[in-house]
Amino acid sequence: MDSVSRAFVDEDSEVRLNRERLERERKLRDWLAIQEKKQVFLESDPKAEDMDQDLRERWLRETREDIERTRKLLEEFTLEDGEPSVARGGV
């Protein structure tokens, strides 16, 4: 394989990795939004007040923990490249 062909392979590989990274970040952001909605429901929806309160508290605790874990994972994306991606609202 000549150097020009290797350059194209390296560029294609880099593009693919970047696309996979952005997709993973998008999925994490989507998951975070779902978990945040779940937290709001469990904290304030009248229907949540009607459910078993021990279960409600357990789900709230688990949801808050998941939100924290997901936010940390998203922060790692910023730490890896030092700049926010376009998917995160960067320029």
| pLDDT band with cut points at 50, 70 and 90 for residue 90 | very low
pLDDT, average across residues 4-19: 73
Total domains present in the chain: 1
Q: Say which amino acid occupies 55.
A: L
More confident position, 62 or 16: 62
Residue 66 to residues 37, 48, 71, 72, Cα–Cα distance (Å): 12, 19, 9, 10
Residue with tokens 């991606």: 85
Coil, helix or strand for 18? Answer: helix
The number of beta carbons lying within 10 Å of the beta carbon of residue 61 is 11
pLDDT at 42: 97
Tens digits of residue pLDDT in 26-72: 999 999 999 999 999 999 999 999 999 999 999 999 999 999 999 99
Q: What pLDDT is attached to residue 32?
A: 98
Task: Note down the domain range covering 61.
Answer: 3-88
Q: Where are the alpha helices (DSSP H) in 1-91?
A: 3-44, 46-49, 53-81
